[in-house]
Amino acid sequence: MKTRTMIFALIIAFSFLFAGCDFSQCDHAWERTNDYESGSILEKCLKCDEERTITITGNTSSAESVLDDQSWEESLTPNTESKFPANPSSFLITGANSAVYGSKCTYSWTAKQEDGTAMGIEADSEHPLELIEYINAIKVSEGETLTFTFEALPTNITVKRYELTASDYSDYVNIPVNDGCIVASEGDYLYEVVVRWEGDASYGGIVYYAFRTEK
């Protein structure tokens, strides 16, 4: 009788223990386990060992800019061959369930060549508001964290959020950047991301990227 009582007590104790543990509520700390240029992202939580796969949607070009000397359609075809640091870094935006590459717009870039000389590249484009139809979109929910990934750690990142119908380039909201992440607002918006690389002797410059969000 005592044995049965002890077993019953243990069952009740474990029931209460696991009832209070909701593993779905883990404050995940995701770590990438593969090369994102493969077309999908594999991640594993450092806290609960949960794994997830995120597919990169839209244009998967990590190197080509919409300013290349070719048609818009050709410049937006998949191309995962990196040209960094001779050209500006790729820009990947990762959300909870999807990821997209941002588009390079205007940039000024300098890189040291093998012979020690420096080569400068200057590219100028229209404002991203004029290029909306060519810019990748990522679906987000209210309060979702978007993580920015570059091929080299930037010196500074600033983010501006525009309504898609905005006609005034100065009509934007500044979005805080914390540890390479922003908190997205649900809805259809255009984000302009201004990134600087300074202090490295082999490369550096300023690049204007853009991406869109949608419900």
Measured CA to CA, the distance from residue 123 to residue 104 in angstroms comes to 10
User: What pLDDT shows up at residue 141?
Assistant: 93
Measured CA to CA, the distance from residue 89 to residue 121 in angstroms comes to 13
pLDDT, one tens digit per residue, over 190-204 is: 999 999 999 888 999
Mean pLDDT of the chain: 77
DSSP 99-161: EEEPEEEEEEEEEE-TTS-EEEEEE----GGG-GGGS-EEE--TT-EEEEEESS--SEEEEEE
Residue with tokens 């061959």: 81
pLDDT, one tens digit per residue, over 41-91 is: 677 776 787 777 766 665 544 334 443 433 333 333 333 456 789 889 989
Query: Residue 58's CB: how many other CB atoms inside 10 A?
Result: 18
pLDDT, one tens digit per residue, over 112-153 is: 988 888 899 999 999 999 999 999 999 999 999 999 999 899
| Range name among 23-32, 141-150, 162-171 with the lowest pLDDT average | 23-32
User: What pLDDT shows up at residue 70?
Assistant: 33
Q: What share of the chain is helix, strand, coil (3-state, %, to 5)?
A: 15, 40, 45
Residue 28 clears pLDDT 90, i.e. is over it? no
User: What pLDDT shows up at residue 207?
Assistant: 96
